[in-house]
Amino acid sequence: MDLESPTAAEGRETLLIVDDDEINRAILENVFSPSYDILEAGDGLEGLRAIMSAPERLCAVLLDVVMPELDGLSVLRRLHESGLTLTLPVFLITAEASDSVLREAYGLGVMDVISKPVVPYVVRRRVQSVIELFQARRRLSSTVESQHARLLEQARQIIELNVGMVEALAAAIEFRSEESGGHVRRIHDITRFLLERTPFGSGLTPEAIEEISLASMLHDVGKIAVPDAILNKPGRLTPEEFAVMKTHTVQGAALLARIPQLRRGGLRYAEDIARHHHERWDGRGYPDGLRGDEISVWAQAVSLADVYDALSCKRVYKDAFPRERVLEMIKNGECGAFNPRLLECFFSAEEELSHMYKKEVMA
């Protein structure tokens, strides 16, 4: 084999000659053997078998038309049916090519029709050009494929990094609040559950629910701006202290607004959630006193998730309440006023949510 062969590197270096005439095969073999490995078949059936057994090793097929067993056009038809003519260039070598034969052959995807007796430098140039074209196509498409895979991998890494940063930021706030840990993770899970598994999230795409759940972890990011003495004070806050505490909503939204990348990075909901997760359905919440449907679906969901989790766990200012009491307090509006439809969805699904607190409540 010629080491200079342009196909050697790809493993496609075999040229198949299908012709019942030994002399034709010998002449073509003589033309192409310096550049390619040569495989010969003496009739159409043998040729078809040689192709089908391992089409990927072939760089081209030279096909006679008039042959016993299976003629060249029949071979071509089979190759066309199996889609092979798209990746394997086929040349018809014929002494008499009628219009109808040419028309059918080109319709079946033949790359070129070369007349017999062949003129060596013509057939060599024509066949090599097409082989090189197919090689270039294969190289290009494999390059595009690997670039595409690389881009997907990079996108995945960016999303992972994004989630990691959000979790790290949320965990930092949580540690500062000296909370039991896992709060933001549970808010994420509860929010996702309410939107994904109950009718409250109908109308939201899976991608939106994904983004909202991630954004929910940043709902208390504004607590960074609240002094330790207030944040970690056991027992009730004075009205002045409570006023400072309430600013975590506006502070959080202002902080997130300063990171424009968040909007593009799938956290477009974070600012709204940070600002409005203490609004109430009856309009008596803060900071904006929004009422009813003025509060976004995602802010409502995070708001309920936050209350439910706070009641179910021990905090610096309180113990964990038993499940029955938690549900009672939410039902009676002791911890906020919620959309009746949201409550209906929540109570229908709460059984499953309660499992995540089993250990903590018993502890």
Of the candidates 310, 330, 334, 332, the residue with the CA atom closest to the CA atom of residue 320: 310
Q: Identify whether the C-beta of residue 279 lies closer than 8 Å to the C-beta of residue 286.
A: yes
Interaction pattern, residues 118-157, with other proteins; x per rule: CB under 8 A:
xxx-------------------------------------
Count of residues of this chain found to bind other proteins when the rule CB under 8 A is applied:
16
For other proteins, the closer of residues 29 and 288 by Cβ is 29
In sequence order, what are the beta bridge partners of 114?
93
Q: Does residue 98 interact with other proteins by CB under 8 A?
A: no
Other C-beta atoms closer than 10 Å to the C-beta of 74 total 15
| Contact range with other proteins by CB under 8 A, out of 47-55, 112-120, 171-179, 181-189 | 112-120
| Least separation in angstroms between CB 130 and other proteins | 20
For other proteins, the closer of residues 51 and 118 by Cβ is 118
Q: Identify whether the C-beta of residue 60 lies closer than 8 Å to the C-beta of residue 88.
A: yes
For other proteins, the closer of residues 5 and 135 by Cβ is 5
Q: Does residue 292 interact with other proteins by CB under 8 A?
A: no
Tokens representing 344? 């209906």
List CB contacts of 346: < 8 A, sequence separation 6 or more: 194, 198, 200, 304, 308, 330, 338
| Contact range with other proteins by CB under 8 A, out of 23-31, 139-147, 152-160, 240-248 | 23-31
Q: Identify whether the C-beta of residue 85 lies closer than 8 Å to the C-beta of residue 108.
A: yes
Query: Which residues in 24-83 contact other proteins (CB under 8 A)?
Result: 24, 26-27, 30-31, 66
Q: Does residue 161 interact with other proteins by CB under 8 A?
A: no
For other proteins, the closer of residues 30 and 154 by Cβ is 30
Judged by CB under 8 A, which of 10, 21, 241, 344 binds other proteins? Answer: 21
Q: Does residue 95 interact with other proteins by CB under 8 A?
A: yes
| Least separation in angstroms between CB 118 and other proteins | 7
For other proteins, the closer of residues 97 and 163 by Cβ is 97
Other C-beta atoms closer than 10 Å to the C-beta of 29 total 15
Q: What is the CA radius of gyration of the chain?
A: 36
CA 4 from centre of chain: 42
CA distance 192 to 301: 9
Before 206, cis peptide (omega within 30)? no
| Contact range with other proteins by CB under 8 A, out of 20-28, 72-80, 224-232, 311-319 | 20-28
Q: Identify whether the C-beta of residue 61 lies closer than 8 Å to the C-beta of residue 47.
A: yes
Q: Identify whether the C-beta of residue 255 lies closer than 8 Å to the C-beta of residue 173.
A: no
Q: Does residue 301 interact with other proteins by CB under 8 A?
A: no
Q: In what order do the strands lie in the sheet with 90-94?
A: 37-41, 14-18, 58-64, 90-94, 112-115
| Least separation in angstroms between CB 117 and other proteins | 4
| Least separation in angstroms between CB 68 and other proteins | 8
Q: Does residue 23 interact with other proteins by CB under 8 A?
A: yes
For other proteins, the closer of residues 30 and 142 by Cβ is 30
Q: Does residue 20 interact with other proteins by CB under 8 A?
A: yes
For other proteins, the closer of residues 85 and 94 by Cβ is 94
| Contact range with other proteins by CB under 8 A, out of 21-29, 48-56, 228-236, 292-300 | 21-29
CA distance 41 to 50: 8
For other proteins, the closer of residues 24 and 191 by Cβ is 24
| Least separation in angstroms between CB 67 and other proteins | 10
Which run of H or of E encompasses 255?
A: helix 239-257
What values do phi and psi take at 346, rounded to 5? -65, -50
Q: Identify whether the C-beta of residue 189 lies closer than 8 Å to the C-beta of residue 312.
A: no
The backbone region for 344, taken as left when phi is positive above 0, alpha when psi lies in -120 to 50, beta otherwise, is alpha
Query: Which residues in 217-256 contact other proteins (CB under 8 A)?
Result: none
Q: Does residue 22 interact with other proteins by CB under 8 A?
A: yes
Which residues contact other proteins by CB under 8 A? 20-24, 26-27, 30-31, 66, 95, 116-120
